Amino acid sequence: MALAIAAGALAFSLLALSLFSVIPAKAAVNAAADSAAIAAAESASASSVAQACAIADQAASLNRATLLRCEVAGGEATVTVGRQILETTFSVTARAAVPRPEATAANGAIPAADLVLVSYPGVRESPAVYLRADAAAALLQLLEAYHAQTDDYLPVDEGYRSLEDQHRLFDQYGWPRAAIPGTSNHGEGIAVDFVNPPVVRGATSHSWLAANAARFGFSPLTDPDEPWHWDYTR
């Protein structure tokens, strides 16, 4: 009998011991998940998704947890962090809303008089492609250089985009695939979309852009990865 009581007491104290260590540890995993989600959401509005998830990873580590999953989509950061407690890995998922960047008044509302029609073989004619004057001049030089070297033409799909069209794309694709209306470089008249396909990663046209676009002031959009989208950044 005494042995049974002793065994029961031992079992109880082991249970109590594990409960006392597990409960605060689980609270710590919750806190780690919350802080990682907030870190991802806050940084996503200022930087790229990849950077936002790297910062979430740091936030999780600071809380002695491991980032297991990080996704920023639809204006929300979703992270899962895990922490090993005794023999079990506890994982917690948390979400935080991404603060929206300030939209500028002119974005997507540039007067037609301030835009230049881009007219060159391969460039979409209807609806026509417009860009800010400096970006249009640079793009023409780029298109001519490509033609001179390859005897081919780069197909251009889109340049300037109105706020109304950006709203339509945003409703269709969500963030980050579509920029938040009022913040897109298309709305500034400095972004170019080549036709996709054929301008995809691995294609000759894309390799040429990767090697030469910078000479004309164009930079690729890599996060999110859109091989067809190039920004005039000069």
Among the residue ranges 56-64, 70-78, 136-144, 191-199, the one whose residues contact Zn ion (CB under 5 A) = 191-199
Least distance in Å: CB of 193 to Zn ion? 4
206 forms part of the interface with Zn ion (CB under 5 A):
no
Strand ranges for the chain from DSSP E: 66-73, 76-85, 88-97, 115-117, 130-132, 156-158, 191-194, 218-222, 225-232
Minimum gap (Å) between residue 115 Cβ and Zn ion: 16
Asked if 79 contacts 67 with a C-beta cutoff of 8 angstroms, the reply is: yes
The yes or no reply on residue 193 touching Zn ion (CB under 5 A) is yes
111-120: long-range pairs with CB below 8 Å, 24+: 114/189, 115/160, 115/189, 118/156, 118/159, 120/144, 120/153, 120/156
* Stretch binding Zn ion (CB under 5 A), from 39-47, 65-73, 90-98, 186-194: 186-194
Nearer to Zn ion by Cβ, of 40 and 156: the residue is 156
Examine residue 231 and tell whether it contacts Zn ion (CB under 5 A).
no
Give the nearer residue to Zn ion in terms of CB position, either 22 or 221. 221
Could you tell me which stretch among 4-12, 89-97, 117-125, 192-200 binds Zn ion (CB under 5 A)? 192-200
x/- track of binding to Zn ion for residues 135-174 (CB under 5 A): ----------------------------------------
- Whole-angstrom Cα distance, residue 143 to residue 56? 41
Comparing every residue's Cβ against Zn ion, the nearest one is 229
Q: Which residues contact 164 (CB under 8 A, 6 or more apart)?
A: 108
Distance CA 198, CA 188 (A): 25
Token pair belonging to 234:
């000069």
The pairing of beta strand 218-222 with beta strand 225-232: antiparallel
Of 31-39, 53-61, 190-198, 209-217, which part binds Zn ion (CB under 5 A)?
Answer: 190-198
Q: Which residue has the tokens 């070297």?
A: 149
Q: How far is the CB of 161 from Zn ion (least distance, A)?
A: 8
CA atoms within 13 A on the CB side of 49: 20
Single residue of 98, 229, 231, 232 touching Zn ion by CB under 5 A: 229
Residues of this chain that interact with Zn ion (CB under 5 A) are: 193, 229
